[in-house]
Structure 1
């Protein structure tokens, strides 16, 4: 595992990522799902979540402006009607709130 970690760090560094400072967590999601409590089971998932929480900054959300969600795709689902998908760029919307589709 140490050799693999060294190779991964070298690869990250070759693409201008901070290979030496990037946390690498070893573990098995399969073992964790099976309830294994060894070092590579459940505890490794906890370490992964802690690393993600501390290493990846929380993005700033623009919630002050009007709700804006560019539509990426449209589906017709029987029994539900037309469903649109997209990523919210700003604002907030609540369940049951009416929205206007413009465009």
Structure 2
């Protein structure tokens, strides 16, 4: 789970996202879930503080 604020746009389940700032490179992952205040959402909007479940990223 990655947590933080969505800077811009919309994040939806099954979207492919790029994670910037990990080990100096860009990693790609697929969103498998979006959570806010312990509730599952279909999408997160810009400005939302969310937890994003990701597939394709190792710890």
Structure 1 length as normaliser, TM-score?
A: 0.19
Structure showing the higher helix proportion among its residues: 1
Larger relative strand fraction: 2
Larger RCO, structure (CA 8 Å, separation 6 or more): 2
Larger radius of gyration: 1
